[in-house]
Structure 1
Amino acid sequence: MDTSAAPLAEPERHEPPSDLVCSAKGCPAPADFGLRWNNPALHTPERRKTWLACAAHREHLSRFLSARGFLREVVDAADLPR
């Protein structure tokens, strides 16, 4: 038996993939926040659509929705209904 073989390399460890990914164009980061919004010209007052945001894009996406009067609330992604 040859014992001079190189030891086995440790397998790479990765974070488990998140099923919630940031909505910013081209961003692959897991979502940390849900930006709940609606367009009052199109949606009933209780209707909520959701954009997902990582910490880096939360402010940018919030400003975009707020400038149009669409943003209703920002919640933790963990608190979003599934």
Structure 2
Amino acid sequence: MSIFDFAAGTSPAASDSALCSRKACRAGASWQLLWNNPKIHTPERRKTWLACEDHRGWLEDYLQTRGLWKETLPLEPGSADSPLEQDN
């Protein structure tokens, strides 16, 4: 547990779980939204936002409107070999 977890009132278990990337949402994520910014990323690069059921549509629309969205996939436990990038 870090000082930031203590200040935010979160437990170590909560900080280890996949949470929705929507600002102020603390719900568990069930979707991965893969995206990249073609102005600064190579075409094969994929950044990931996580989404709960309630915010999947909002986050997809946000990325699609800006031409950044690439793909949405279900988030399955243990499906990612490397840490997911969460960019809020």
Calculate the TM-score normalised by the size of structure 2. Answer: 0.70
Question: Which residue of 1 is the match for residue 18 of structure 2?
Answer: 20
Question: How many residue pairs align between the two structures?
Answer: 67
Say what the alpha-carbon RMSD is for the aligned residues.
Answer: 1.5
Question: Which residue of 1 is the match for residue 53 of structure 2?
Answer: 55
Gaps of 5+ in 2: 1-12, 83-88
| Closer/same/farther in 2, CA of residues 63 and 81 from structure 1, 3 Å limit | farther
Structure holding more helix per residue? 2
1:32, 1:25 → 2: CA distance?
A: 16
Runs of 4 or more, structure 1, over 4 Å off, are: none
Calculate the TM-score normalised by the size of structure 1. Answer: 0.75
Overall identity of the aligned pairs, in %: 45
- 2:37 aligned residue (27, 36, 39): 39
